[in-house]
Amino acid sequence: MVGEDTYCIDIIRQIQAVEAALDKVSAQILDAHLKSCVITAVQGEDPAERKWVLKEVLEVFETANR
């Protein structure tokens, strides 16, 4: 679009649409991860694994809020 001299606002709208779609996919993947890996780790016997999984989730949110 940029190489074709598309109107700037149209490019921005397209970028926003792609970002929104990626956010939805990311939310779905996080939901699946929370319902599987995180629950398994939290209910498991290994405190190190529990700590690691919770740290990973926190890092995802910290990165998203930058």
- pLDDT band of residue 3 (cuts 50, 70, 90) is confident
- Does residue 2 lie within any of the structural domains? no
Residue 44's SS3 state is coil
Task: Give the closest residue to 53 by CA, choosing from 39, 65, 64, 32.
Answer: 39
- Does residue 46 lie within any of the structural domains? yes
Task: Count structural domains, the chain.
Answer: 1
- Does residue 32 lie within any of the structural domains? yes
- Kindly report, residue by residue over 12-26, the tens digit of the pLDDT: 999 999 999 999 999
- Does residue 1 lie within any of the structural domains? no
Domain extent at residue 55? 8-64
Amino acid letter for position 42: V
Which position has the token pair 């792609």? 18
Residue 66: pLDDT over 90: no
- Kindly report, residue by residue over 5-55, the tens digit of the pLDDT: 899 999 999 999 999 999 999 999 999 999 999 999 999 999 999 999 999
